[in-house]
Structure 1
Amino acid sequence: MMNRLYLFALFLFVSGPSTGQFWHTDYKEVQSIAKTENKPILLVFQGSDWCAPCIKLDREVWSTPEFREYASSRWVMLKADFPRRSKNVLDPEQAEANAALAERYNKNGIFPFVVVLDKEGHVLGETSYQKIGPEGYIELIESYTKQL
């Protein structure tokens, strides 16, 4: 019995990371993946510790098994977080990278802000928080990628 439990725990440990990270934080890495896998990019600007609509969007859509399963095979997910609490502060390099993304794709400082990009980084569509659930976001984001 102990052997089976050990093997199961080992399996979970080994197989967990191989499923791939759902959210990426490095734009260059994401662009490389998008080009290699021929997938569009879903870029989300959020304030994870202060923006109520961002937190709702994460809970109601991004964190749902339905959305995660669908999105992992269709899009490369990129998150640009702008936390305000000192305990959640980003390292300076990540904060600078997120600021550069905001300068390019979110000049108006909207939170949450969802930008759908092609693999080259061209904007295909934009939205913010809507109370449409995972199915609604999948449909909306898919509508932006129809021209691909």
Structure 2
Amino acid sequence: MKKIILIIVCMITSLGYAQDLNWSTDYKEVLKTAKALDKPILMYFTSDEVSENSKLLKSTFFKAQSFKTLSNKIILLKVESLNNKQLTQLQKVYSNRLIGTYNKEMQFPALLMINPKGIEIGELMSDINSKNIETYLEFLKTKL
């Protein structure tokens, strides 16, 4: 019963993808959803600082039609840097754990895909430029 409810919630949530991507910040829920739907998780490591890289990622990668099409095949998780003062205590714990495990060099912004068991699929993309964005989109297409 829980799986059915979870699937229904995910289907309703995916309707919002037409306009904006639906990034969750709740690691525990994302993990449950990924396991229930057997979908990989795309982690977006971000910080409060606005950099050219984050602008490029938002304007080129996240707004690309190919990414929007692929986004219904993955679960999106936004991992905020620990500098974000708006994080709840629980979010800080999860962010700290995820950054320590998957983004040890604390590079922001960055992207990494993992499977529902937490195993990395590919490498952390933190060198944000037009060529790497295109390459990462192609990588996602081959893995999904």
TM-score by length of 2: 0.72
> Could you say which residue in structure 1 is the equivalent of 2:139?
140
Deviates more, 1:133-142 or 1:22-31: 133-142
* 1:3-22 superposed Cα distances (whole Å, 9 cap, x missing partner): xxxxxxxxxxxxx9672572
User: Among residues 112, 125, 130, which one is paired with 1:115 in the alignment?
Assistant: 112
| Number of equivalenced pairs | 127
Equivalent AA in structure 1 for residue 73 of structure 2: R
**Within 1, Cα distance between the matches of 2:22 and 2:84?**
24
**Within 1, Cα distance between the matches of 2:94 and 2:70?**
24
> Could you say which residue in structure 1 is the equivalent of 2:94?
97
Offset, 1:31 = 1.4
Q: Which runs of 5+ in 2 are unaligned?
A: 1-11
**Within 1, Cα distance between the matches of 2:137 and 2:68?**
11
Q: Sequence identity of aligned pairs in percent? A: 28
Contact kept, 8 Å, 2:40 with 2:115, in 1: the verdict is yes
Contact kept, 8 Å, 1:24 with 1:78, in 2: the verdict is yes
TM-score by length of 1: 0.70
* 1:67-117 superposed Cα distances (whole Å, 9 cap, x missing partner): 45313321111110227576xx32232222211110111111111221110
Deviates more, 1:119-128 or 1:64-73: 64-73
Equivalent AA in structure 2 for residue 104 of structure 1: T
Contact kept, 8 Å, 1:49 with 1:83, in 2: the verdict is no
**Within 2, Cα distance between the matches of 1:67 and 1:30?**
22
Alignment of structure 1 residues 59-74 onto 2, 5 Å: 59-62=59-62, 64=63, 66-67=65-66, 69-74=68-73
Pick the structure with greater CA Rg.
1
Q: Which runs of 5+ in 1 are unaligned?
A: 1-15
